[in-house]
Structure 1
Amino acid sequence: MDDKKYSDLKLGERGAIVSIIAYICLSALKLFVGTISNSEALRADGLNNATDILASVAVLIGLRLSQKPADKDHPYGHWKAEMVASLIASFIMMVVGIQVLVGAATSIFKGVSQTPDLIAAWTGIFSAFVMYFVYRFNKKLSLKIKSQSVMAAAKDNLSDALVSIGTAVGIIGSQFNLPWMDPLTATVVGLIICKTAWEVFRGASHQLTDGFDEELLNQYKETISQVEEVKEIKDIKARSYGNNVVVDIVIAVDSSLDFNSAHDISSTVENKLMDNHEIYTVHAHVEPYVKS
């Protein structure tokens, strides 16, 4: 199983690399066109893509570190490395998002004297198409390898496509004697950057602090209850190591059973959970059932 997990992480690197290449090209294009066309919104979008480069690099580093096998200092492996990288990326994104908001607010209060050239809008539309195809690629890849970090990257790709569309709309609106729409759109872009940063931070911190989806725990309980010999589920906990779920359960069985029979029941529960829910490891502890 470990070989499959490691090969999936290796495959996930492709998504990060594709994102990095796309973001480098688009951020350079947007910053250049935004500068020559006097578009605050397009420059903000370019800065957004620049932060996405850092975020994608962080994901790539995390994926590579996660492939390191368990060692003396990390007996459970390095699976959480990609979550640490995502956490760092969220901080970077938030800082840039705030910078974009400050710049846009300054432009609004100072007043906008120039209307951006229409080439800025076409650049935004082109960028939206590019990022949509990158999103489709990463989404398909994330579903194939069941990678949360690659799926997060895909969602970021989609948000970038939407941001670029919004940027184009704002620039086009400014052509109709509404120049304030450009910095206003930059404000929206800044808010989207901050929102994305918060979502990345919340997801990464939730995993790093061993938070887990309660609905999934309920599904695990239903699966365990299908084993007739299990009289009671006394406790169940789960945590994630990267994309790998580890479950600890305490079950009660008939107290008259011998040790081997009780062990067989625990093995049945473990295998059933791993097969039905693709759980990485299950640790089942057996206790005698006592009627209350």
Structure 2
Amino acid sequence: MDQINDMKRGEKGAWISIFAYLFLAGSKLTIAYIGTSDALWADGLNNSTDVVASIAILVGLRISQKPPDQNHRYGHYRAETIASLLAAFIMVAVGLQVLFSTITKMFEENIARPDMITAWTALGAALIMYVVHRYNLSLSRKINSSALYAASQDNRSDALVSIGAFVGIIGAQFGVYWLDPLAGFIVGVIICKTAWDIFKDSTLMLTDGFDEDRLKKIKEEISRFPEVKLVEDIKGRALGNQSVLDVTIKVNPELNVRQSHDITVHIEEELAEKHGILYTHIHIEPYNEK
């Protein structure tokens, strides 16, 4: 029930991102068209894709709340990770479009100087996105949501993109006209880089990757239990914002079934309390001194 409540809280962050992006995309594209700024236009296109990406994350969070069924015995937690992956694909498509568009503009002879209103629009957007970033980052850590964390990183890159657009537009005011399309090009690079980071993290989770340092720390904690003679093997994988562990431990062969069971319960309770791991499968084997 706590996981479901956390995901519902995560939806709030996704909705905030959607409304912020809708407002900023509309404002930037309109003002960029009026004020002839390539950097702000690229930034507005970036926010347009962010709307779709945020909707994908919202859908993923909704699906993740569905209870286990006949075909999904572990639940639907990975829908959240798939949503992050789809968001990465959408972002890279627009990032490449921005790159090709601004490269062409950089080599044009007649580049118009953007109006100052486009600079102030970019700066105001950066402040808005930084506030959204801080909110989603804090919420993602509280509920341990990979999708919302990805959204918060996208929010941060959007704030940086807007600052870059602001710098490019200001430079164009002093006669460095090529600085505006150059800022647009940098925007495209940042979009692609953010998409790659999200893609990398999502594919790691979907291919049952797990943080090796975290796994080592958990193994050391299990080894400290006095009844555990040896941690023979430990594996971890992620199901959305949930972690699953498969652990093989060796204990005194003289212990009965109830005593062995109590050991596994104590380990599971400690891992849930300290690391938030709610699914731990522990296999017990007899320990024989050589």
2:277 matched to which residue of 1?
279
Correspondent of 1:60 among 51, 58, 66: 58
* Among 181, 193, 202, the residue aligned to 2:200: 202
Give the partner amino acid of 2:183: T
| Shift in Å, 1:154 | 1.3
1:46 is aligned to 44
How much does 1:274 deviate?
1.7
Could you list the runs of 5+ residues in structure 1 that have no partner in the other structure?
none
Q: Identity percentage over the alignment?
A: 50
Counterparts of 1:117 and 1:79 in 2: how far apart (Å)? 47
Hey, what does 2:222 align to over in structure 1? 224
How far apart, in 1, do the equivalents of 2:114 and 2:100 lie?
19
Distance in 2 separating the partners of 1:271 and 1:120? 55
1:98-247 to 2 correspondences below 5 Å: 98-247=96-245
- Report what 2:17 is aligned to: 19
In structure 2, give the amino acid aligned to 1:211.
G
Q: Distance in 2 between matches of 1:202 and 1:236?
A: 24
SS of corresponding position for 1:59: helix
- Helix, strand or coil for the counterpart of 2:107? helix
What CA deviation, in whole Å up to 9, does each residue of 1:195-226 have, x standing for no partner?
Answer: 00001111111101110000110111111011
Match of 2:90 among 89, 92, 102: 92
Aligned residues: 290
- Of 26-35 and 133-142, deviating more is 133-142
Contact 2:13 2:136 in 1 (8 A): yes
Query: Deviation per CA, 1:73-119, whole angstroms, max 9, x where unpaired?
Result: 11110000011111111111101000000000000122343111111
Aligned AA (1:23): Y
Distance 2:192 2:17 in 1: 19
> How far has the Cα of 1:140 moved from its partner?
2.4
Distance in 1, matches of 2:83 and 2:142, equals: 22
Residue 112 of structure 1 contacts residue 179 of structure 1 at CA under 8 Å; is this kept in 2? no
- 1:286 aligns to what SS in structure 2? strand
Runs of 5+ in structure 2 lacking a partner? none
Q: CA contact under 8 A between 1:112 and 1:180: conserved in structure 2? A: no
1:226-269 CA distance string (max 9 Å, x none):
10111111110111111111111000011222222222222222
Measure the CA separation in 2 of the matches of 1:131 and 1:276: 33
TM norm structure 2: 0.97
1:139, CA displacement in angstroms?
Answer: 2.0
Q: Which of structure 1's runs of 4+ aligned residues deviate more than 6 A?
A: none
CA distance in 1, matches of 2:108, 2:175: 17
State how far apart, in whole Å, the 2-side matches of 1:220 and 1:89 are. Answer: 32
For 1:253 and 1:53, the matched residues in 2 are separated by 53
Partners of 1:173 and 1:145 lie apart in 2 by: 42
SS in 1 for 2:176: coil
**Does the 8 Å contact 1:249/1:283 carry over to 2?**
yes
Deviations 1:157-199 (A, max 9, x none): 1111111011001000011110000010011000000000001
CA RMSD of superposed structures (Å):
1.1
Q: State the AA in 2 paired with 1:144.
A: K
- TM-score, length-scaled by structure 1: 0.97
Shift of the alpha carbon at 1:290?
2.1
Equivalent position SS for 1:72: coil
Larger CA deviation: 125-134 vs 140-149: 140-149
Cα distance in 1 for residues equivalent to 2:10 and 2:109 = 46
Moved more, 94-103 or 143-152: 143-152
